[in-house]
Structure 1
Amino acid sequence: MKLRWPRLRAVVPAAALVAGLATATPAAAAPTVTSGWNDFSCKPSAAHPRPVVLAHGTLGNSVDNWLGLAPYLVARGYCVFSLDYGQLPGVPVFHGLGPVDASAQQLAGYVDRVRSATGAAKVDIVGHSQGAMMARVYLKFHGGADKVDTLVGLAPTNHGTTLSGLTKLLDLFPGARKYIDEHAQGLTDQAVGSALLNRLNAGGDTLPGIHYTVITTKYDEVATPYTTGYLKGPDVRNVRLQDLCAVDLSEHVAIGMVDRIAFHETANALDPAHATPSNCLSAAS
């Protein structure tokens, strides 16, 4: 059954922000050490020489967003790390709300820390929703292009979202968009036509030398329409879950948190030399 709670998850914290939270974005908090991942003593194997950095989505965090995918990748021999970014003062648990450009700088520092700890020259990044788009900001504007081999986006907001019309709703209330910009710019940075997205996508979607995979679901109710997540470029693979398994009903949150077909396709993207077909049976793997 298609999940409905993510709509409330998106709206309730946003309503709290409108009530008057502070505007500053603090430095990244120390990563949570979670069983199996965020182990900075992990050394990449010859089979999987690049650590995997996971970037959560809007209103997500470094643990909850990855309780499914992180152990899945660890079990397959990867060194896996996840960060919190885009925190606002007084807002626990729900992150990814600060300006996307500032979040990309947080990612830059985290990637350098992972590279230093593991000795790896490059990492791979898997981002959910804003996390995938924000990673592209890091690649293009904050020195990431030489430090990343592969970027996998799960339901990304690469070309913006209408949030099923919620962003248009802001325009009906004079001053509302400006207020949200001041308190949670991470939301409006993802709106179709935002200044950040125009700058990010100017001159083309991709950078040379980086392998891109985008995984979407036609039931996405947050990154709308879902096709805006797709990228164009010479080294891009755009995948729709329902083309792999027609009965997959995952929506925006489930694709990043619990969908085993999306997990399998992510693993294929990270290790294409040993990829196996993703299909309905992948859900049991």
Structure 2
Amino acid sequence: KPSAAHPRPVVLVHGTLGNSVDNWLGLAPYLKVRGYCVFSLDYGQLEGVPFFHGLGPAEKSAGQLRVFVDTVLAATGAAETDLVGHSQGGMMPRYYLKFLGGAAKVNALVGIAPSNHGTDLNGFTELLPYFPGAADLLSKNTPALADQVTGSAFLTKLNTGGDTVPGVKYTVIATKYDEVVTPWRSQYLSGPDVRNVLLQDLCSVDLSEHVAVGLLDRVVFHEVANALDPGRATPTTCLSAFE
């Protein structure tokens, strides 16, 4: 049950190739020890692929998130939840918020290195047209990867008409050393109730890249806690790694 200090349960949404356990070995206990009621889900499973999830169509994954949030709210008696997602898990919930009624059930979305406007994988995806059938193969076998390529039909639908929906607070935490969601500035959102944060503005010597920011970085974890409870927020610095 959520505590009086933190009345909203937190749902953690893993990234591509992640799962509900491995993606959150750092952040889940960090939040739990600070009094948060924490849940995580598996989504985007492909038949015959164990452990590595977040590969199925992102639209279908958003439907799985909707069901899971409803389950969490029913179990806890809470009226709203907060979502924290890494990579695809920071982007995909926006579809749930925008098209599947999630805005009425979510107070805040915190995206850690989210693929909000897609990725060119440092230019790799721009080579796909030169290899006949490569894009179709990607879409057929790993739909979520295709959905996250810059300019995909999924992202076009998601971002048309604005990045955000009313009533939800958005935080994006990016690292300039991201080698997966590139260029890293594409992670940022535009609109009301948006706060875009660059990790190196908080701690200039933090070299964490795409994976580390979600799995290991306690400076990031501190900023996530600030986003979840802005009324009790304290400055995030390099020393936050030792708190």
Q: Secondary structure at the match of 1:163?
A: coil
Work out whether 1:162 is the aligned partner of 2:120: yes
Q: Secondary structure at the match of 2:85?
A: strand
Work out whether 1:85 is the aligned partner of 2:43: yes
| Aligned position for 1:126 | 84
CA shift, 1:207, in A, is 0.7
CA shift, 1:163, in A, is 1.3
Corresponding letter in the other structure for 1:179? L
Task: Give the TM-score normalised by structure 2.
Answer: 0.99
Work out whether 1:73 is the aligned partner of 2:73: no
Q: Structure 1: give runs of 5+ residues left out of the alignment.
A: 1-42
| Aligned position for 1:182 | 140
Task: Give the distance between the partners of 2:92 and 2:159, measured in 1 at CA.
Answer: 12
Task: Give the distance between the partners of 1:165 and 1:130, measured in 2 at CA.
Answer: 19
| Aligned position for 2:229 | 271
Q: Structure 2: give runs of 5+ residues left out of the alignment.
A: none
Task: Give the distance between the partners of 1:60 and 1:240, measured in 2 at CA.
Answer: 23
Task: Give the distance between the partners of 2:89 and 2:147, measured in 1 at CA.
Answer: 12
| Aligned position for 2:74 | 116
| Aligned position for 1:11 | none
Task: Give the distance between the partners of 1:254 and 1:172, measured in 2 at CA.
Answer: 32
CA shift, 1:182, in A, is 1.1
Deviations 1:232-277 (A, max 9, x none): 1110110000000000000000000000010000000000000000
| Aligned position for 2:204 | 246
Q: How does 1:8-157 map to 2 (within 5 A)?
A: 43-157=1-115
Task: Give the distance between the partners of 2:117 and 2:136, measured in 1 at CA.
Answer: 21
Task: Give the distance between the partners of 2:127 and 2:16, measured in 1 at CA.
Answer: 19
Work out whether 1:215 is the aligned partner of 2:173: yes
Kindly tell me the number of residue pairs found equivalent between the two proteins: 243
Task: Give the distance between the partners of 1:78 and 1:130, measured in 2 at CA.
Answer: 23
CA shift, 1:179, in A, is 1.5
CA shift, 1:169, in A, is 2.9
Identity %: 70
CA shift, 1:164, in A, is 1.6
Corresponding letter in the other structure for 1:245? C
Task: Give the distance between the partners of 1:273 and 1:280, measured in 2 at CA.
Answer: 21
| Aligned position for 1:24 | none
CA shift, 1:166, in A, is 2.5
Task: Give the distance between the partners of 1:166 and 1:66, measured in 2 at CA.
Answer: 28
CA shift, 1:80, in A, is 0.3
Task: Give the distance between the partners of 2:213 and 2:63, measured in 1 at CA.
Answer: 26
Deviations 1:180-213 (A, max 9, x none): 1111110010011011111111111111110000
Task: Give the TM-score normalised by structure 1.
Answer: 0.84
